[in-house]
């Protein structure tokens, strides 16, 4: 699926540990947080960049600070290493959403939708998300909501 939307190189994280392949990357977008910071840094070129995204869903190992600890470690160590480490947080706003809507309507952006559930099926949708095999976005359809 990822190749069909333009990826040149695809890694199936269930089959391959990208940090152990010996391959070096200019940029790593870490969406899941299932590899240590040091493993990710070893997979970067010396001047590479590691961007932590979506770590609210990373496992927290029961610590009270949860996944924020990983982000803090990355940001604190960043000035002391040649690689750049940063976080990315999305703050949705109406202007960005309108722009995305225009791109979709113009056919310039096509979201990958795995499944669509009705509002009453939300618990089923959440169970599907939790199984960890989603291939795209899961949509909850709200009655009466227009485009």
Give the tens place of pLDDT for each residue, 86-125: 777 777 789 988 998 999 999 998 888 999 999 999 999 9
What is the predicted pLDDT for the residue at 60? 46
Predicted confidence at residue 123, as pLDDT, reads 95
Would you kindly state where each structural domain of the chain is located, as residue ranges?
3-88, 94-141
Are 87 and 52 in contact, with CB atoms under 8 Å apart? yes
Query: Structure tokens of 145?
Result: 């909501």
- Class of 3-88 in CATH: alpha beta
Q: Which of 44, 140, 134, 145 lies closest to 86 in space, CA to CA? A: 44
Mean pLDDT over the full length of the chain: 79
Comparing 61 with 86, the larger pLDDT belongs to: 86
Identify the three-state secondary structure at position 138.
strand
Q: What's the residue count for the chain?
A: 147
d(C-alpha 139, C-alpha 100), whole Å: 16
**pLDDT of the residue at 75:** 65
**pLDDT score recorded for residue 57:** 43
């Amino acid at each position: 699926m990822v190749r069909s939307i333009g990826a040149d190189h695809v890694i199936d994280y269930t089959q391959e540990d990208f940090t152990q392949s010996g391959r070096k990357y200019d940029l790593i977008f870490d969406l899941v947080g299932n590899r240590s910071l040091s493993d990710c840094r070893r997979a970067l070129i010396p001047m590479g960049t590691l961007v932590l995204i979506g770590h609210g869903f990373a496992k927290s190992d029961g610590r009270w600070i949860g996944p924020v600890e990983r982000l803090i470690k990355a940001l604190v160590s960043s000035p002391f290493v040649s690689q750049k480490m940063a976080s990315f947080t999305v703050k949705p706003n109406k202007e960005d959403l309108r722009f995305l809507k225009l791109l979709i309507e113009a056919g310039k952006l096509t979201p990958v939708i795995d499944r669509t559930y009705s509002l009453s099926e939300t618990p089923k949708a959440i169970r599907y998300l939790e199984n960890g095999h989603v291939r795209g976005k899961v949509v909850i359809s709200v009655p009466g909501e227009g485009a």
